[in-house]
Structure 1
Amino acid sequence: MTACNVIPKVSEQPYHHAILTRLPSEWVPWPDDASSVNHEDALGILLKRSQKKSFTWPKTPVVFISDPHADAEAFEASLLAAGIIERDGAHLCEYALTKFGQKADIVVGGDCLDKGPSNLTMLRSLAHLYRLKAKVTLLAGNHDLRLLMGLLSLERETDVGSQHLFVRMGKKVIPLFKEVFDQYLADTQWDKGVPSEEACRQALFPGSDWFDNFPFYAAGFLTHEGIERELAKMTTKAQSFEAHCAKNGLTLPQVYAAAMKCRSLFLKKSGEFSWFFRRMRLVKKRGSFLFLHAGLDDHMAELLAKHGVKYANRAFKQNLMNQNLFSFYYGSLANTFRTKYRKADLPLTPRGAYVARRAGIQVLVHGHINRHFGQRLSLKNGLIHIEADITLDAHSRKKEGLEGHGVGVTLIDKKRGVIGLSCDYPHAKVFKPSRKGNLSGAR
């Protein structure tokens, strides 16, 4: 079996060639992995539904890259693998758009932050993509929004529902604060105006009575499992947060100073990264495909069916900046970038899946859940999911026994179908419906 035109072209320049050698050169029909479909035939159902007149493909090719997690090298390698960019320099952030990159819809599926190796380089690489006037949609990821919630909680009058949101970011955000401190504050009088260590501790950590009061505050809003999960998470994070700061060479006053600098960088109009949350969207729909970070619940399915995607994105923005942080972060809008369909999450029932399909949403394309063998099809109460987080960042890959940074992308195109490329799977996975069924090995 040889490479065919379903696989994007990658140029033979040395850097590109190094990426090409890590990608599959052959394709296979999308595998029917029974372990991934909850004992239901996701592939067969996708094939059947995709042949109906009501099923529509995006008019423009969509390139979906999710969960780069502060790894600009993995992000840019994936753009190269998709045929979106070509190098015009030897370093990160030195690239230009290809002809395909100029016309394609590029959807970044969220979680640009945390883990590593560099949050700031990742943000600057994404900013360069915007400068090139690429058609980019940036979706909200739970790691991205956790930073925003933590930063906002330092400004607003805190209550039981939000006073824990800074520490709730956990150890994964500390490398960002370290980067910010080193690049912006280390050689300045950073401690001028910074409170004492104890005052910083009181500002950053939830009050001593938070663990007693939170279950009552959240009752009727979160499930019992959700409340127990939050208490368990916060017990661990509150006990270890300061130790993780020290391990990264930061005192609490330095963390406080870095957080204030992050507020300036991300939340002020003049900040270097002010575009990041401003450009962020909750969902994007193209044809019968809904792109988002994690998944749906019944309430969001109803909202999308009644009001549409534009309304959902407006509601996301207004709730993000103007409403109670607790009701936003633990509500249905945020469940869209948080859910893993656990008991603690707001549920997607067969009724919600039916409502989504009636609204023209046949397939969810999302990240959020690490996969080691490329993209995966699954079926949740009759709603098809393409799980496209193929573990890009070097930090996660090392932790999970994978080598180097990841390379991978999911392409959706009415001519080529759905293509899953990953350096961790030996073949390109291709789904292209036809009257005779999914693609066979014939050329």
Structure 2
Amino acid sequence: MSSPIPVISPRLNHTDIIARLPSEWTAWPRDASSVNSHVLTAYKTPPRFKKDKLRWPKRSVVFISDPHADAQAFEASLIAAGVAERKKKAGLGHLTLTKKGKKSEIIVGGDCLDKGPSNLELLRSVKQLYKLKARVTLLAGNHDLRLLMGLLALARKKDVGNQHFFVRMGKKVVPLFREVFDEYLADTKWDQKIPDEDTCRQLLFPGDDWFKEFPFHAAGFLTSEGIDREVRKMESKNHSFEKHCHAAGLSLRQVYATSLKCQQLFLHKKGEFHWFFRKMALVAKRGSFLFLHAGLDDSMGEILLKSGTKYANKAFHRNLKRRDLFSFYYSSIANTFRTKYRDADLPLTVRGVDAIHKAGIHVVVQGHINRQQGQRVTIKKGLVHVEADITLDCHSRKAEGLDSYGIGATLIDKKVGIVGLSCDYPTVKVMTADELQDIYVESV
């Protein structure tokens, strides 16, 4: 079959991208690995939902999630989706929008940061889209917000609820610190006002009593499974974080100096990347589709029903500024970019799913759960989910036995349906509007 998506321009700069993409398309596979018809929470849905027709976004949406600091993968995915091209210069940072790119909305599904190899270049690639006046929606990912929590924790008064947030970032943030130190500090007198190594350790790490006090502090906010998981995670990271820094050639003095530079870059109004968190949204609703990084819970379902996405996004930013970090990061709002529907996460039950459907949301498009065989459409908690994290960054791919950097995107358009494009699947997956409607009815 011929491809239902625009064929990317066969320019010299695109040859390597074209060679790694499928050239044919097939109907979306209906099997246990792609469409899971098992509803995890069985219940009877009011008949009115079964009569609902899915409403599609007014304009074509290109969803690219979890680029994880791989600018090459991100730009190649934009080109593969037909929304950008390189006309004159090779290499990163030289994109222009295509005709399709000027008409479409590009939704970046979160997790722009961490892992590597090019955090700063990835941020500049996203910024370039804004400069090109593309319609861009940038969603919050858990890795993105972990950096913000770590930087804010250093800037605010230390307490039981926030003193672990810096080390909680873990080894995956170390490549970013290495990049920032090399680009902004290496050839400067960075160490003039930085305290000694032991003092930096005390400033960066949680105190010895944190592990005893945190379970009491978190009682009533987290499930018991969530508290146990958080303490175990911190025991591991507290033990290994300094080792990972040293393995990257960074002393704790350098890490502390770099964190102060990151505060300047990301948090100060004149910082190069101040736009990143300022432009970020928690959720985006387009027709019956809700785009987010991870998932939903009962409380967020009620918020979306009673107040809508505009309120949710406003609450996201206001809580970052006004509430203590602990209350924010373990709240329903943050659960939206963290959950995997585990026992440790805030629950999504019949009540929440009912509210979500009443809010006119029938399909969740998410990242967060990386897949090695392209996108998957599945039914979770009685709600249709499109899992669209297709393992783009080269470091994750190497660890999972995949070649080079990833290429792919999820396209959502009423005329075509849902298109799953991935260099790791032999064909382009296409699900028509009618087929998705059938799966929605099946879910309820």
* Short-chain TM bin: over 0.9
Q: How many residues align?
A: 432
SS of structure 1 residue aligned to 2:85: strand
Query: How big is the shift at 1:22?
Result: 1.0
Change (3 A) 1:14 1:51: farther
In the alignment, structure 1 residue 190 sits paired with structure 2 residue 190? yes
Query: How big is the shift at 1:51?
Result: 9.5
Of residues 11, 26, 31 in structure 2, which corresponds to 1:13? 11
Task: State how far apart, in whole Å, the 2-side matches of 1:305 and 1:52 are.
Answer: 19
In the alignment, structure 1 residue 335 sits paired with structure 2 residue 315? no
Query: How big is the shift at 1:415?
Result: 0.8
1:16 alignment partner AA: H
Structure 1 match to 2:441:
none
Q: Contact 1:296 / 1:336 at 8 angstroms: preserved in 2?
A: yes
Structure 2 match to 1:59:
58
SS of structure 2 residue aligned to 1:351: helix
SS of structure 2 residue aligned to 1:159: coil
Task: State how far apart, in whole Å, the 2-side matches of 1:150 and 1:213 are.
Answer: 19
Q: Contact 1:375 / 1:387 at 8 angstroms: preserved in 2?
A: yes
In the alignment, structure 1 residue 235 sits paired with structure 2 residue 235? yes
Structure 1 portions without partners, runs of 5+: 43-47, 439-443
After superposition, give the CA deviation of every residue in 1:142-166 in whole Å (9 maximum; x if it has no partner).
Answer: 0000000000000111110100000
Indicate the larger mover: 132-141 or 349-358.
Answer: 349-358
Q: Contact 2:39 / 2:380 at 8 angstroms: preserved in 1?
A: no
SS of structure 1 residue aligned to 2:62: strand
Identical pairs, percent:
65
Query: How big is the shift at 1:29?
Result: 1.0
Please list, as runs of the form range in 1=range in 2, the aligned pairs for 1:69-148 lying within 5 A after superposition: 69-88=68-87, 89-148=89-148
Task: State how far apart, in whole Å, the 2-side matches of 1:322 and 1:437 are.
Answer: 41
Task: State how far apart, in whole Å, the 1-side matches of 2:257 and 2:433 are.
Answer: 55
Task: State how far apart, in whole Å, the 2-side matches of 1:51 and 1:156 are.
Answer: 49
1:86 alignment partner AA: E
Task: State how far apart, in whole Å, the 2-side matches of 1:205 and 1:436 are.
Answer: 48
SS of structure 2 residue aligned to 1:411: strand
SS of structure 1 residue aligned to 2:160: coil
Task: State how far apart, in whole Å, the 2-side matches of 1:436 and 1:69 are.
Answer: 29
SS of structure 1 residue aligned to 2:107: strand
Q: Contact 1:151 / 1:166 at 8 angstroms: preserved in 2?
A: yes
Query: How big is the shift at 1:99?
Result: 0.8
Query: How big is the shift at 1:434?
Result: 3.8
Q: What TM-score, normalized to structure 2? A: 0.94
Indicate the larger mover: 345-354 or 178-187.
Answer: 345-354
After superposition, give the CA deviation of every residue in 1:356-396 in whole Å (9 maximum; x if it has no partner).
Answer: 01110000000001100010011112110000000000000
Query: How big is the shift at 1:435?
Result: 9.0
After superposition, give the CA deviation of every residue in 1:247-302 in whole Å (9 maximum; x if it has no partner).
Answer: 00000000000000000000011101010000000000000000000000000000
Of residues 4, 23, 26 in structure 2, which corresponds to 1:25? 23
Please list, as runs of the form range in 1=range in 2, the aligned pairs for 1:390-409 lying within 5 A after superposition: 390-409=390-409
Task: State how far apart, in whole Å, the 2-side matches of 1:249 and 1:130 are.
Answer: 34
Query: How big is the shift at 1:7?
Result: 2.1
Task: State how far apart, in whole Å, the 1-side matches of 2:112 and 2:208 are.
Answer: 33
Structure 1 match to 2:213:
213
In the alignment, structure 1 residue 256 sits paired with structure 2 residue 223? no
SS of structure 2 residue aligned to 1:281: coil
Task: State how far apart, in whole Å, the 1-side matches of 2:342 and 2:434 are.
Answer: 35
Structure 2 portions without partners, runs of 5+: 41-46, 439-444
1:14 alignment partner AA: L
Task: State how far apart, in whole Å, the 2-side matches of 1:358 and 1:226 are.
Answer: 29
1:3 alignment partner AA: S
Query: How big is the shift at 1:436?
Result: 12
Please list, as runs of the form range in 1=range in 2, the aligned pairs for 1:259-278 lying within 5 A after superposition: 259-278=259-278
Q: Contact 1:417 / 1:431 at 8 angstroms: preserved in 2?
A: yes
Q: Contact 2:53 / 2:437 at 8 angstroms: preserved in 1?
A: no
Query: How big is the shift at 1:50?
Result: 11
Please list, as runs of the form range in 1=range in 2, the aligned pairs for 1:416-427 lying within 5 A after superposition: 416-427=416-427
Please list, as runs of the form range in 1=range in 2, the aligned pairs for 1:275-314 lying within 5 A after superposition: 275-314=275-314
Task: State how far apart, in whole Å, the 2-side matches of 1:382 and 1:100 are.
Answer: 34
Indicate the larger mover: 151-160 or 6-15.
Answer: 6-15
